[in-house]
Structure 1
Amino acid sequence: MVQPAVNAYAKEGEPGNLYAQSAVLMDADSGRILFSKNGQTERANASTTKIMTCILALEYGSLDDVVTASEKASSQPKVHLGVTSGETFYLRDLLYSLMLESHNDAAVIIAESVGKSVEGFADMMNAKAKEIGCRNTYFITPNGLDAADDQGIHHTTAEDLARIMKYCIMDSPKKEMFLEITRTPNYQFTDCSGKRTYSCNNHNAFLQMMEGALSGKTGFTADAGYCYVGALKKDDRTFIVALLACGWPNNKTYKWADTKVLMNYGLENYTYRNIWQEADVGEITVHHGIDRKHPFNTTTKIKLTVAEEDKDWQMLLKDEEQVQMVWEAEKDVEAPVAKGQKCGRIEYLLDGDLLRSYDIVTVDAVKMKDTKWYIGTIFGRYFLQNP
């Protein structure tokens, strides 16, 4: 029996033995990577690709669209629905075919409908990947079959795959429909003519393995090996696991073992803690500004504050993890000063990485002492008060 590969980069207390060559655990709320084993290594990712195909179809297509199978779609290898060229379907039905049974022909029909061509749809996939922060992903096919062109092979990374799943379940305007489709145990439909009936069963066994399992997608090709991306929500915590190259035949169950190990690691070690810290950012000295109480002072002081305070900000952290707050602000400035003028920045850091930053701004405005002010003030004080 093949033993899990030791992760030489695992920190104390982290999962050290995993089958997957690349593995990631992500906090789906913040997008923070909580655990990574070769998480940025580019690898083929098989049918986990279809989560991107599904979310783009939901965002840019209509569930009631009638779509037609092409020769290209009908020639796709197994696993396939077995469509014939010219056969028509509702887009809604093919999304269940895509996500429950992982049908390769359904993916091509969807791509040609939404993107006008497989190549056009691949451009949409790559644009969306870049938009949501994926930097090491390149899609060629809508179904994840091993492919290559002059720009490289069809691939992603475990970290990027987790980012795509985060988008699908947390950020997309179509996230609810995505979850509804991917959580459906089984589904039946016909082609538009009603002559052929199809049945789909959900092959995401993880949905029955752990309480709170939300969604997921399996994958396998000769180049990719077994792959998986899945999500779980429990006690307001949502975790995503992405696995690439998690064994080859006959290692089909390795992905489930790794997924449970990483999900349990998240559940056992990470809880929400309040992050916001009160900061007394003090005052700033304003030179040559108008001080109504002391008009002939050359300087005046105004208070500073932190803009857009988020006192309810919480984050998943281990017990030993501490968020550091640092801030820096200007000590003085020349008038005029506007209310809300930026004079510094406050940062929240975890292990040296920036989590968030906020502007430090002025509470009040200060006008500048100009010639008109001097003339008016001197005239009023020495002439009007001493007739």
Structure 2
Amino acid sequence: MKTKRIRASLAPFLLAFLLLLTSFPVMAADQTASASLDIDCVSAILIEQSTGKVLFEKDADIPLPPASVTKIMTLLLIMEALDNGQFALTDTVQTSENAASMGGSQIFLEPGETMSADDMLKSIVVASANDAAVAMAEFICGSVEAFVEKMNTRAAELGMANTHFVNVTGLDDGIDNHLTSARDIALMSRELLTHERIFNYTTLWMDTVRNGQFGLTNTNRLIRFYNGANGLKTGSTAKAKFCISATAERNGMQLIAVIMAAPSRDIRNECAKKLLDYGFANYTRVHFDAADCGTVRVKGGVQDNIAVRSESFDAIIDKSGKGDIEQIVTLEESAAAPIQAGQKLGSIRYLRNGVEIGSSDILASESVDNITYFGLLLRLLEHYLLI
């Protein structure tokens, strides 16, 4: 196994901040900035979407009622069903008596009323429509109960350890066990953002359904008033108080700020803005493209060498810290056939100031089979007889 070191300058990523560099250690700067954040809510978290790195948290694992922020999981299952081809946006969804009976935020669907899946989805995202959420749950799974079971299964798959869903809306009158945490909301928000079509809805400020006859205004005011905002979901009830999962993207860095149990809508929004401002001011995203990493010798294969390629790598780093990023490349000198395309044959560790910030694998670019007896004989003849 061979190892080599490569230094990658941070100039392309941090040029604008070179004059602001200080001698403080990275962790000390991070702790100082975090400690200075004063947010008026019970629980909160700030993460970066591509890496999942936590940039700030406050009591992020307390189970709390999430109100309509619940619908992030509802929307995740809808988007997964859409992307899996279970339905099309042009499909017609019929409103049941149960769906039409939902209170709270709604578009006042009537029993038997039909609407395209596209308009139902738009109504859930933009207007937080409880009736549309129930209609889509029944459309996809046949019943709300079956859909909620899938919600809890998906939550477990995502590692949402402090979550239990009872319904698809977040309505919590008379309900005490419909709970999740700020960290768990960040996890499901991060997963929802991998479905890029969701941005077609979350970025809408105003729109209409019913052929322009019914207006929708986004419950998330940050979409209009915060630079880079692109989602995601608000919620409020007397029990949950005011909650939000706010997402925004600047310069290729997507942040997710979750606020739970703020005392008012305005304070909730200010808390979310404060977290997002903190993230964009103090962190930046660095990216290394996938790259060719030479070849590895093959033992007992139909070819002597195999090309290898690194995976792409993303990291979120503190803007105030000094130091280039060093790459330590470790590569197998040889590998025995058979080799499968995508098989790990090495790795790259990324360090800053001697501290590892992440790693990526080096993978075989193709498959190589074992050489057969006839192939080996032919190779020997080529070598010794020059045929």
TM-score normalised to structure 1 length: 0.70
State yes or no: 1:100 paired with 2:126. Answer: yes
Q: 1:110 to 1:338 in 2, by over 3 A?
A: closer
Aligned partner letter, 2:178: H
Aligned to 1:273: 286
Query: How is 1:47-62 mapped onto 2 (pairs within 5 angstroms)?
Result: 47-58=68-79, 59=82, 60-62=86-88
State yes or no: 1:214 paired with 2:230. Answer: yes
Aligned to 1:309: 310
Aligned to 1:22: 43
Which deviations, in whole Å up to 9, do the C-alpha atoms of 1:308-335 show, x marking residues without a partner? 424x6342200438778789999999xx
Aligned partner letter, 1:74: A
The whole-number CA distance in structure 2 between the counterparts of 1:205 and 1:46 is: 17
Q: Report which of the two has the higher share of helix.
A: 2
Cα deviation for residue 18 of structure 1 reads: 0.6
1:160 aligned to 170, 181, 184, which one?
Answer: 184
State yes or no: 1:41 paired with 2:62. Answer: yes
Aligned partner letter, 1:109: A
- Please, which runs of 5 or more residues in structure 1 have no aligned partner? 1-9, 290-302, 368-387
Cα deviation for residue 54 of structure 1 reads: 2.5
Query: How is 1:130-279 mapped onto 2 (pairs within 5 angstroms)?
Result: 130-146=156-172, 153-169=177-193, 171-172=194-195, 175-176=196-197, 178-190=198-210, 197-247=213-263, 251-273=264-286
Aligned to 2:384: none
Q: 1:122·1:140 contact (CA, 8 Å) conserved in 2?
A: yes
Q: 1:234 to 1:331 in 2, by over 3 A?
A: closer
User: How much is the aligned-residue C-alpha RMSD, in angstroms?
Assistant: 4.4
The whole-number CA distance in structure 2 between the counterparts of 1:349 and 1:65 is: 48
Larger radius of gyration: 1
Query: How is 1:324-343 mapped onto 2 (pairs within 5 angstroms)?
Result: none
Aligned partner letter, 1:22: S
The whole-number CA distance in structure 1 between the counterparts of 2:178 and 2:199 is: 25
Aligned to 1:11: 31
Q: Which has the higher contact order (CA 8 A, sep 6+)?
A: 2
Aligned to 1:113: 139
Q: 1:182·1:215 contact (CA, 8 Å) conserved in 2?
A: yes
Cα deviation for residue 353 of structure 1 reads: 8.1
- Count matched residues: 336
The whole-number CA distance in structure 2 between the counterparts of 1:315 and 1:115 is: 38
Which deviations, in whole Å up to 9, do the C-alpha atoms of 1:15-40 show, x marking residues without a partner? 43111221111111222222211222
Moved >6 Å (runs of 4+): 321-333, 336-340, 342-345, 349-354
Q: 1:187 to 1:359 in 2, by over 3 A?
A: closer
The whole-number CA distance in structure 2 between the counterparts of 1:144 and 1:354 is: 37
Aligned partner letter, 1:256: N
Q: Percent identity?
A: 26
Q: 1:330·1:343 contact (CA, 8 Å) conserved in 2?
A: no
The whole-number CA distance in structure 2 between the counterparts of 1:119 and 1:256 is: 33
Which deviations, in whole Å up to 9, do the C-alpha atoms of 1:166-190 show, x marking residues without a partner? 2222x22xx22x1111222222222
The whole-number CA distance in structure 1 between the counterparts of 2:274 and 2:191 is: 23
Q: 1:147·1:154 contact (CA, 8 Å) conserved in 2?
A: no
